[in-house]
Amino acid sequence: MQSSLSLTFSPTTSAAATISRSHHSLPLSTAKPLNLRFCGLRREALGLGFSTSLNRNLRRQHSAIVSAARSDNGSSTSGSFDYDLLIIGAGVGGHGAALHAVEKGLKTAIVEGDVVGGTCVNRGCVPSKALLAASGRMRELRSDHHLKSLGLHVSSAGYDRQGVADHANNLASKIRNNLTSSLKAIGVDILTGFGTILGPQKVKIGSSDNIVTAKNIIIATGSVPFVPKGVEVDGKSVITSDHALKLESVPDWIAIVGSGYIGLEFSDVYTALGSEVTFVEALDQLMPGFDPEISKLAQRVLINPRNIDYHTGVFASKITPARDGKPVLIELIDAKTKEPKDTLEVDAALIATGRAPFTQGLGLENVDVATQRGFIPVDERMRVIDANGKLVPHLYCIGDANGKMMLAHAASAQGISVVEQVTGRDHVLNHLSIPAACFTHPEISMVGLTEPQAREKGEKEGFEVSVAKTSFKANTKALAENEGEGLAKLIYRPDNGEILGVHIFGLHAADLIHEASNAIALGTRIQDLKLAVHAHPTLSEVLDELFKSAKVKEHASIPVSEPVAV
């Protein structure tokens, strides 16, 4: 991920060579761990992403592995092993895998070198949602126009910075304790220390001689903020998202480097609390990872009316923290020519340039595995591939560490899929059915392909692509909330009714997207969705109208293609 955290299905982030091994982590966005098992899983999907010869080789190896697993009838077979399953990293991916493993009867342990919950719970999506909740209410209370339209009047509104920060910290602590308790309650052993792979099915815990063995091992070590070269982070005036979530200050003017999910959400928080924001984006447009039409509308609503300006097509080649009474200095160069462009002087800078896999020090060399830009190579079943292109028996990698899709719920879904495999049931996750969301006000959500991606796929594979749209301005519930600014977009095949992608910008978009993601996961066609009933008046009718507006050929008989694993 260069200047933003975008929705791609292949690793694009360059890991810094000096990342220190400070914690195992993986994201999450729910306080109800038992719900983690419903994560857009799809059976019998086809593999994608490797050469034909390598695919054949991996499939042959897979058949042997699955046959062996099935011979155990899915039962616990520790034998000479300490555990059936050992998970390195107690973030959301590891937690989801552990819950499912115990349900399947596996003796399970999870290794954690920092705190349970990983990035999402402690330094990511959980505390950030607390900040967004508080700042979002502040934005509403300060919007005289919005309040007046509802017949409301608020004489004044203010906030306590430490109180807002405490809300985020308390939420993270509560969820962390819940996750820890849930693991202990079902008998998962929590082993404290850094996990280092010593060889096949063998892991050392911490710096001592504590060595444990396991029939199968899952690496779920997550990621850390990616800091580009030339950027000096001091944790005070030049910060990453880890620091920003503590909300130790609300600067008058803050530059945010990167306009992806992380940057957008923090711009929402800071502007609501009174800061002026300047985006620095390496690509030629803001929000490069989103569908272009959604990006355009989101910029009109989330950027242009707010106290935000931006520089696109530029790199922050050097960022110097504030010191000796001087402001933060940001030197900008042209992203293409590398010629100097400008110098910014601001109160603070947030580095939101994506995340880098946290895979150093894992002992991968002991099983002949070489990372690719820091990511651990895996096949479509999350099985680790060694330097010679062969599968490493009994070793899997899920979540941010493999780079397939750096989202909390994707990590959990991958972990659940792995457990299915090691207990004898072949399982492949369709990543195109996994939704993503940006929790701005209003929210942005998406699943599947963008329109350009879909049209490229259609041109390559020889099928037509159509687009349907519906506005929140036609939705009764949105109008009642005076939140009519929004758009839902459906990208589909008119010949067979297959959903290729859905993108939503508007009130509660993050909640609305799941009807579409589940439809993709289950292979449900638009013809069938047109017959679904939605309660009135609800925001769900935005999707109802969207599907009903799609023009599918009357006698569509071509079957929906099986989802493809990526």
Burial class (CB in 10 A: 0-12, 13-18, 19+), 144: exposed
Angle at 408 between CA 489 and CA 131, to 5 degrees: 85
CA 441 to chain CA centroid, Å, is 18
Is 258 one of the annotated binding-site residues? yes
Is 222 one of the annotated binding-site residues? yes
Is 289 one of the annotated binding-site residues? no
- Reading the block at residue 511, the tokens are 């909640």
Is 221 one of the annotated binding-site residues? yes
- Is the separation of the CB atoms in 451 and 292 below 8 Å? yes
Q: Which of 317, 313, 258, 257 minimizes the C-alpha distance to 283?
A: 313
Is 129 one of the annotated binding-site residues? yes
Is 362 one of the annotated binding-site residues? no
Is 260 one of the annotated binding-site residues? yes
- Is the separation of the CB atoms in 1 and 226 below 8 Å? yes
- Is the separation of the CB atoms in 435 and 406 below 8 Å? no
Is 223 one of the annotated binding-site residues? yes
Is 63 one of the annotated binding-site residues? no
Burial class (CB in 10 A: 0-12, 13-18, 19+), 97: buried
CA torsion 11→17→21→24, rounded to 10°?
Answer: 0
> Which of 145, 153, 311, 536 is an active site residue?
536
Is 195 one of the annotated binding-site residues? yes
Residue 536 known to be catalytic: yes
Angle between helices 161-185 and 125-142 (to 10 degrees): 150
Is 183 one of the annotated binding-site residues? no
SS3 labels along 89-137: CCCHHHHHHHHHHHHCCCCEEEEECCCCCHHHHHHCHHHHHHHHHHHHH
User: Which DSSP category does 472 fall into?
Assistant: G
Q: In what order do the strands lie in the sheet with 466-471?
A: 436-438, 443-448, 499-506, 487-492, 466-471
Give percent helix, percent strand, percent coil of the chain, each to the nearest 5.
35, 25, 45
Strand partners for 467: 491
Is 400 one of the annotated binding-site residues? yes
- Is the separation of the CB atoms in 503 and 488 below 8 Å? yes
Is 287 one of the annotated binding-site residues? no
Q: Which residues are annotated as a binding site for FAD?
A: 129, 195, 221-223, 400, 406-409
Report the catalytic residues: 536
Query: Residues marked as binding for NAD(+)?
Result: 258-265, 281, 354
Binding residues: 129, 195, 221-223, 258-265, 281, 354, 400, 406-409
